[in-house]
Amino acid sequence: NAGVTQTPKFQVLKTGQSMTLQCAQDMNHNSMYWYRQDPGMGLRLIYYSASEGTTDKGEVPNGYNVSRLNKREFSLRLESAAPSQTSVYFCASSAFLAPSNSPLHFGNGTRLTVT
Amino acid sequence: KNEVEQSPQNLTAQEGEFITINCSYSVGISALHWLQQHPGGGIVSLFMLSSGKKKHGRLIATINIQEKHSSLHITASHPRDSAVYICAVPLRGGADGLTFGKGTHLIIQP
C-alpha cells in the first residue's frame, strides 16, 4: 500500500534554479493538493486539483505552478526558486474535494532549502 | 477566507490525564477535519465531522456548527499520544480545499 508518494524527500536549490516536486497516489482519488508548512504558520494550501483536468489556486500560489498530469499524478513546479520558498512541502489526496466526507491522505513531505 | 484558531498552542500533561484541544473558525462550514502530525513529520487524518460527536478509541471529537467551534478530547492520555494536533476547515466555507490551524503541540509525560 504505497498511498501518496512524494519525491524527492530532500532538495537544496540555489536562488533562481527551477525544480519540480512529484506526487503520485494509487488510491484512485479524484482530488489532490499541495501544501507548504513553515514554523509557526501551519499548513498552507498552495494549489489544489478537484479532479483530473482542473487546478485552482489556494492561499499562497505565487511563485508556483502545478500540473495534474493524470488522475494519479499532481506535480508542483518552482520556476525560479527564492529563499522564501524554503519550506516543507506536502502533497495530499482525497476521494472527493475536501471538506467532503473523505479523509485526507498525506505524503511524507519534501524538505526544500533555497540558498 | 476562513480563519482558524486553535488553543492551547502547547500543552504538557501527565500520563492518564484527560486532554482537551479547541478549534474555532470564522466562516460557517459543512465539515471539519482533525489531523495528527507525528514527531517524525507524518500527517494522518483522525476525524471528519459535520455535526455532533465522533469517537475512535480514546479520541473523541465534537463540533458545534452554530458556535463555530470544535474540540478534540483524549481520554487516559499516553506518551504515544505526543504529537501536533491540527484542525482544518474549508478555505472559503465551501468545497474548495482546506485551511489549517497552526496546531497544538501536545507532550504527555510518563
pLDDT tens-place string over residues A36-91: 999 888 899 999 999 999 999 988 999 999 999 899 999 999 999 999 999 999 99
Residues 6 or more apart whose Cβ sits within 8 Å of residue B106: B11, B12, B13, B19, B21, B74, B81, B82, B83, B84, B85
* Contact by Cβ (8 Å): B20, B43: no
Q: Which of A36, A41, A43 to mutate to test the interface with B (most CBs of B within 10 A)?
A: A43
> A56: nearest CA in chain B?
B96
**Residue B93: is its pLDDT beyond 70?**
no
- What is the pLDDT at residue B95? 61
| Contacts with A103 from chain B: Cβ below 8 Å | 33, 45, 48
* Contact by Cβ (8 Å): A7, A108: no
What band does B94 get if pLDDT is binned at 50, 70 and 90? low
What band does A99 get if pLDDT is binned at 50, 70 and 90? low
- What is the pLDDT at residue A100? 66
CB contact under 8 A, A42 and B102: yes
Q: Which of A10, A93, A104, A105 to mutate to test the interface with B (most CBs of B within 10 A)?
A: A104
Please name the member of A42, A50, A97 whose beta carbon is closest to the beta carbon of B101: A42
**Chain B touched by A95 (CB under 8 Å):** no
